[in-house]
Structure 1
Amino acid sequence: MSVSLHLLLDRARSLLHARDGRLTRSLLREPGRFGLGQVPARVSPDATSSLVCGYCSTGCSLDVHLRGGLAVNLSPSASYPVNRGMACPKGWEALAVLDAPDRATIPLLRGSDGRRCPVDWPTAVGEMARRVKAIQRAHGPESVAFLGTGQITTEELALLGSVAKFGMGMVHGDGNTRQCMATAAVAYKQCFGFDAPPYSYRDLEESDCLVFVGSNPCIAHPILWERVMRNRRDPDLIVIDPRRTETAAQSNLHVPIRPKADLDLLYGLAHLFIQEGSIDRTFIDAHTAGFDAFAAFVERFTPPYVAGRTGLDIRKILDLADRIRRRDRVSFWWTMGVNQSHQGVRTAQAIIALALMTGNIGRPGTGANSITGQCNAMGSRLFSNTSSLLGGRDFSNRDHRAEVARILDIPEDRIPAHAGRTYDQILDGIRNGSIRGLWVVATNPAHSWIDRGGLADVLGRLDLLVVQDIYHSTETAGLADILLPAAAWGEKEGTFINSERRIGLLRKVRRAPGQALADFQIFRLVAEAYGCGPMFAGWRTPSDVFQLLKRLSAGRPCDITGIADERMVGEAGGIQWPCPTGLDDPGAERRLFADGCFYHDDGHARFVFGEPTAMPEEPDESYPLLLITGRGCASQWHTLTRTGKSSILRKLAPREPHAELHPDDATDRGIAPGDWVEIASRRGSTRARALLTQGVGRGRVFLPMHDAGTNLLTFPAFDPHSRQPAYKAAAVRIRPAAPPRPNGRLRRLFSTSR
């Protein structure tokens, strides 16, 4: 990486966001120019193994090049229907982060002296089983819980949820997908009758109007943004977002809405469409229920009323409505700006309502389309046994429990009659002492959880904390009583399910370091140590579990009985569900609801709505600014656990934490560009460099979600329907400050050796 490019990247964050968008596209098209993922000059075609990327939900395929049996480099798969020969910076560096010196390579057990010492696997899992049983004997079976992830394979998710809930009696279990996709899952289930994202990525290219609500795909999902750039229909690109994001800077219309006022705006659009007759009454009458009640509800959301609620000019609202109304193929897309909200479910359902009432669903280039977060969040939603029973069933439905028990050949009474506590409720249980043991798999709540300031203390109250991860250095792993070293992406086998419901293949292309094992094998070891191993005698390999998942999906909306095995998945370039037995072309790209038939018993979609509510924490005299958060750049991922290990990705990321604020707000506080500032809320404070930009409206501060200090500030509000945290709004103040003294983690991530 040249010094000149280094300076260019630093300047890019300080100038118009459109420049970031152009830079991202250059990285996608010319990675070699930036030193990313150079492919060896001589690699024979038969020395390549294709596998789906393990970062975001896009589900790109990467060709890993092998030499002498070793994975030496990779390149994007040219023919894969998702990415078509492209990869974002994270994908190009997917192998580099696996050789970090802080990989967990041997089980660690904390002794009575407080020190952790290496032990063998039988000792580690034996001690885990002994202590879990002791806690359950003393405090009841519900006193131990687990937290899973969307980062492991579908087969591993199913095994973890089944071992924990059916085998070990852990009623309470959730995943870090609660932080990103719970809202979309609930919204879809209530409206469509099943958690079913309806689209294909091809819709990004076939739409003539794309509406992005709280979504910044240029940075968060670069390959999907590249698909948008391939659209030849001269589409209107509309972005509804409080911040002028990289995506907004390249749109035809940016709607700079007041934070968390999306619901009012969407109801206002519905009101206008109804008043002007811009609805598809034939579709509404034939395929939906509840429209008349919805129409009556939105009557008061007139343009003047909505303008007052959203801070938008009436002309902007009318322009937005007109652009949507005059186009034939309108697609609505949302991500965390909607999901991470105190009223995210109702906001997502308002988006769904707009698609339904205008007939923009089931046709090419249409849909109410939630873009998922993690690489296997969709697999977690369907098969993790957390918020839903295997195959998207309901724990509370006796027929569903009986069906799963029959398929798995287990006693029905081993299946809990309710889903158990959600992520936030599990942590509340630790606080009040009702949960005394916790098993954390492939996630880092001590960094990522909302209002995380006291979380280390909360986790410290546990009688037992078991952490299973690929690195020993995460904030959560450092607190563990037992650390179980796991294999990473590329070191194990299984499948992922991406945003467009495409099942993709993960292959093993290298050995895990030291004694680290695939999560699948760790779960089997724990089951044997606990004494429930015989219950999972038929779950010997990921391939065995894939066949079980097929049986669990039979007759369900997510039916995959038409997929013979994983080899078929690889040969087809991934396969979207549903793929029932007898489907003519399993590998074809397809969307849902082309027949207008939804998953409720009557086949109709539902209009679901509710009153907008105020933000739980509004700015005031003491904390006069509103904090908003989001993706920092295309090379960063979540808590930097992996991407922070790559020198290339560190060079592409901002050198230091940064806070974006409006120049007028900076002037009022005596803050100059590049100054160190302190951002404080009622819960904590952090420091960052000031980045002055008119892309952030007056009265607001933007912090990237990846920085360790951001979640010291966030307000612990939750959507009442999905229990998803509302990361996007908190009252803060900002003032000049001295530079922070970096801790060890910051020194590693922001060292001068970059």
Structure 2
Amino acid sequence: MPLFPPVLSRLLKQHHGPLTADLVLEPGNFGLGRVPARLKPASAVTSICGYCATGCQLKLHLDEQGRAINLSPQAGYPVNLGMACPKGWQALDPLDSAERATVPLLRDETGKMLRVGWAEALETFASRFKSLKEQHGRESVAFLSTGQIPFEEMAFLGCLFKFGMGFLHGDANTRQCMATAVTAYKQSFGFDAPPYSYADFEESDVIVLVGSNLCIAHPILWQRVMRNRRNPQIIVIDPRATETAQAATRHVMLKPKGDLSLLYALAHCIVRDGRIDPASIERTEGFEEFSAFLADYSPLAVTERTGMSVEEIESLARTVSEPGKRVSWWWTMGVNQSYEGVRAAQAMINLALITGNIGKPGTGANSITGQCNAMGSRLFSNTTSLVGGHDFAVPEHRAKVAAGLGIPEEKISSEPSLAYDQILAAAEEGKIKGLWIIATNPFHSWVDSGRLAALREKLEFLVVQDMYYTTESARAADLVLPAAGWGEKDGCFINSERRVGTLKKVRQAPGIALSDFRIFRLIASVWGCEDLFVRWTDPEAAFRLLRDLTQGRPCDITGIEGYEMVDGLGGVQWPYPAREDGAPTPASERRLFEDSVFYTPSGKAKLLFSPPAPIPEAVDREYPYTLLTGRGTSSQWHTQSRTGKSDILRKLYPQDAYVEINPKDAARLGVKEHDMIRVRSRRGELEASVYIAPTVKPGELFLPMHYPEVNRLTHSSFDPHSRQPNYKACAVTLEKVR
């Protein structure tokens, strides 16, 4: 018997309380154990919601045993101001699902999944991955993680995998969500720095939403827009008449992927007419080159690409550059999930910079983040950036992180990891032999998802660590590690406006499932690198390590003492550096660049641009429709692995896939509402019920992204700068199902 089970017993008992080693290590007993002593009976505690990156605070109402039995939105929290969307109201439901992973599962030689104890599961984990490393090297195993777990866990994973286990490649599903915004900000501002506060929704005169269905995807932020007393113009730029477009003052219904050309045409008009802010332009680099580039993007030159008239473009240009008006630009996945999303995001950044709409109330070029902790992932996952907002390629950064974490500097590689798509491509090619997936579901969510079945055949060992054993990814695994979910562990999220907030443990994980933090501690012990992580005793201890690493970086949070302080301040927006005695406490809601100093070496923002590229898969006679995808309802979330577990949420959206079709196309095809129709691309097909909707234009279709069949259709094309997939436009055909 290996030496490590006593270590496992000790660490597991720290999590579960006074349970016997047999109970913890064997799969047959599913006792919950006692509620930890720190959860003494109380009326309520607060916790940040675990769905989107809005970052709403919820009040969790506890029973006499300290277990959450109900919740309500927290009044007065500066994010949601006492509001919650349907997902937030039902956030406890997924914890009680019968599909929870409660015990490790290991696939035997016949292909059957068997219940095993933690000792056998982790011995198998370590021996299989060590064997692959010995045979094929440190690039033979990779991980894919999430924006759904606290940043303390994300950082532990990234540091464990790269510094402790000695592997190179790991990425987070932030790559599917926010990589475009990350890259755009880094290139333009010198750091991944969304500049805004949610208060800017309430202080703008003109709010421009590009590829953002705010009403559905971020309903609490739409409520912040509705609180605006300045009678703002709300402009939605989107090919589809979304719920947000229908509620706006103006809908710009441009052609799919015509956004970059339109944004350049707007800048052309503004520069041509002199409606610029010279003082703001002084704080930029590249204005002369940008002005020369814009000469080719007159309104007339882009009418075909955008589907808009010259008059419409000229009118919009005047609206977004009116002197004295506060203009804010906002975007989400309609821009990010694009083959040229970085340049589209930077085109909005350029517009904000040349008109002086940055660093002031009600302004900015503002990305709205998707997952609850995608901002935390961006700073702390140790994937594309060295943990703490540092750079793997900078020797001084490697030395600082090594000293701060107490690890040998030589364990920090200067080599970059492969990006998400490159990791999967390497697995397809047989170069990556082992894959560890944590709290995400790429077998459903990845673009052209049918390719993952073939990829699976090339993998020698696939580990999935998740709340549920029924996700598409877990069903494909060789080993399933049962993880605690939101509400069953402590930590911090960072929301879209850079606000750090705490989540609380108010339930015991079912069976012998453990928090991801505890699983990583056990793996460190099994692997033999636990000496590197002796200070990672619990999430708050890890928080303090990570906090101290941020010193001197734009995301400096060294002024935060601990979780209690975060709660007491109503969340804390970074930066929040340690203050000199007597220094005033920063305001609750703060924007960046009020001093017009950016994070580049020169202190100036960069105006970046390049010509629009052709759409990767244009329509033709064989595939004459353009498929658009996006959020379906405010009750659905991503692959529905959690929202699908709520009886209430399931009643609020269609259970099966449906496709929105323009009435003219429906008439031509001879289909009526609720008929079944086959949607086929060059990669796959699905059957969906017909929803006749004038909200899509003839020749265009819309499918909600949440159904597992949808990504069989989408096209494997990627932004060259961010490596983010292009989910939003591909060519399909329709056939009526007889």
TM over 0.5: yes
CA contact (8 A) 2:677 2:736 kept: yes
Superimposed CA distance per residue, residues 130-179 of structure 1 (whole angstroms, 9 cap, x where no aligned partner): 11000001111110000010000010000000000111112000011100
Match of 2:55 among 54, 59, 67: 59
CA contact (8 A) 2:147 2:373 kept: yes
1:658 and 1:525 mapped to 2: Cα distance?
Answer: 44
1:135 aligns with 2:132: yes
Counterpart of 2:469 in structure 1: which amino acid? Answer: H
Query: 1:183 is matched with which residue?
Result: 180
User: Per-residue deviation at 1:454?
Assistant: 2.5
Query: 2:405 is matched with which residue?
Result: 408
Residues 520 and 336 (structure 1), Cα distance of their counterparts in 2 relative to 1, 3 Å cut: same
Query: 2:445 is matched with which residue?
Result: 448
Query: 1:215 is matched with which residue?
Result: 212
Counterpart of 2:246 in structure 1: which amino acid? Answer: A
1:291 aligns with 2:287: yes
CA contact (8 A) 2:157 2:381 kept: yes
Query: 1:526 is matched with which residue?
Result: 523
CA contact (8 A) 1:562 1:581 kept: yes
2:167 and 2:621 mapped to 1: Cα distance?
Answer: 46
CA contact (8 A) 1:211 1:331 kept: yes
Query: 2:300 is matched with which residue?
Result: 304
User: Per-residue deviation at 1:95?
Assistant: 0.3
Partner-residue secondary structure (3-state), 2:132: helix
Query: 1:578 is matched with which residue?
Result: 575
Of residues 394-403 and 502-511 in structure 1, the stretch that sits farther from structure 2 once superposed is 394-403
Match of 2:358 among 354, 357, 361: 361
Query: 1:649 is matched with which residue?
Result: 649
Partner-residue secondary structure (3-state), 2:517: helix
Report 1:183-332 matches (<5 A): 183-285=180-282, 287-326=283-322, 328-332=325-329
Query: 2:418 is matched with which residue?
Result: 421
Report 1:324-723 matches (<5 A): 324-326=320-322, 328-582=325-579, 584-586=584-586, 588-723=588-723
CA contact (8 A) 2:41 2:63 kept: no
CA contact (8 A) 2:41 2:62 kept: no
1:57 and 1:513 mapped to 2: Cα distance?
Answer: 26
1:155 and 1:303 mapped to 2: Cα distance?
Answer: 49
Counterpart of 2:289 in structure 1: which amino acid? Answer: A
2:54 and 2:168 mapped to 1: Cα distance?
Answer: 32
Query: 2:7 is matched with which residue?
Result: none
1:117 and 1:484 mapped to 2: Cα distance?
Answer: 12
User: Per-residue deviation at 1:45?
Assistant: 11
Structure 1 stretches of 4+ moved >4 Å: none
Partner-residue secondary structure (3-state), 2:52: coil
Of residues 560-569 and 314-323 in structure 1, the stretch that sits farther from structure 2 once superposed is 314-323
Partner-residue secondary structure (3-state), 1:257: coil
Report 1:93-112 matches (<5 A): 93-112=90-109
1:724 and 1:217 mapped to 2: Cα distance?
Answer: 21
Partner-residue secondary structure (3-state), 1:325: coil
1:368 and 1:168 mapped to 2: Cα distance?
Answer: 40
CA contact (8 A) 1:52 1:61 kept: yes
Partner-residue secondary structure (3-state), 1:142: coil
CA contact (8 A) 1:61 1:80 kept: yes
CA contact (8 A) 1:573 1:587 kept: no
Counterpart of 1:434 in structure 2: which amino acid? Answer: K
2:537 and 2:446 mapped to 1: Cα distance?
Answer: 34
CA contact (8 A) 1:146 1:170 kept: no
2:215 and 2:165 mapped to 1: Cα distance?
Answer: 43
Tell me, which stretches of 5 or more residues in structure 2 are unaligned? 1-39
User: Per-residue deviation at 1:72?
Assistant: 1.0
Superimposed CA distance per residue, residues 619-658 of structure 1 (whole angstroms, 9 cap, x where no aligned partner): 0010000001010010000000000011111111124321
Tell me, which stretches of 5 or more residues in structure 1 are unaligned? 1-43, 739-754
Partner-residue secondary structure (3-state), 1:554: coil
Partner-residue secondary structure (3-state), 2:362: coil
1:187 and 1:486 mapped to 2: Cα distance?
Answer: 34
User: Per-residue deviation at 1:418?
Assistant: 2.0
User: Per-residue deviation at 1:586?
Assistant: 4.2
Partner-residue secondary structure (3-state), 1:416: coil
CA contact (8 A) 2:42 2:64 kept: no
CA RMSD, aligned part only?
A: 1.2
1:462 and 1:656 mapped to 2: Cα distance?
Answer: 31
CA contact (8 A) 1:505 1:569 kept: yes
Of residues 236-245 and 416-425 in structure 1, the stretch that sits farther from structure 2 once superposed is 416-425
1:461 and 1:178 mapped to 2: Cα distance?
Answer: 23
Counterpart of 2:292 in structure 1: which amino acid? Answer: A
Counterpart of 2:713 in structure 1: which amino acid? Answer: L
Query: 2:146 is matched with which residue?
Result: 149
2:172 and 2:731 mapped to 1: Cα distance?
Answer: 28
User: Per-residue deviation at 1:113?
Assistant: 2.4
CA contact (8 A) 2:639 2:708 kept: yes
Partner-residue secondary structure (3-state), 1:561: coil
Partner-residue secondary structure (3-state), 2:398: helix
Superimposed CA distance per residue, residues 402-452 of structure 1 (whole angstroms, 9 cap, x where no aligned partner): 111111121111111122101100011111111000100000000000000
CA contact (8 A) 1:108 1:483 kept: yes
Counterpart of 1:49 in structure 2: which amino acid? Answer: V
CA contact (8 A) 1:575 1:587 kept: no
CA contact (8 A) 1:562 1:586 kept: no
Query: 1:743 is matched with which residue?
Result: none
User: Per-residue deviation at 1:456?
Assistant: 2.2
Partner-residue secondary structure (3-state), 1:455: helix
CA contact (8 A) 1:671 1:735 kept: no
Residues 125 and 45 (structure 1), Cα distance of their counterparts in 2 relative to 1, 3 Å cut: closer
1:72 aligns with 2:69: yes
Query: 2:160 is matched with which residue?
Result: 163
Query: 1:724 is matched with which residue?
Result: 724
2:277 and 2:43 mapped to 1: Cα distance?
Answer: 54
User: Per-residue deviation at 1:46?
Assistant: 4.4
Partner-residue secondary structure (3-state), 2:222: helix
2:512 and 2:186 mapped to 1: Cα distance?
Answer: 41
Report 1:108-119 matches (<5 A): 108-119=105-116
Percent of pairs with identical residues: 56
1:535 and 1:471 mapped to 2: Cα distance?
Answer: 30
Counterpart of 2:281 in structure 1: which amino acid? Answer: I
Query: 1:15 is matched with which residue?
Result: none
Superimposed CA distance per residue, residues 690-742 of structure 1 (whole angstroms, 9 cap, x where no aligned partner): 1111210111110001011110100000000000000001100012115xxxx
Query: 1:92 is matched with which residue?
Result: 89
1:416 and 1:282 mapped to 2: Cα distance?
Answer: 42
2:256 and 2:711 mapped to 1: Cα distance?
Answer: 18
CA contact (8 A) 1:332 1:355 kept: yes
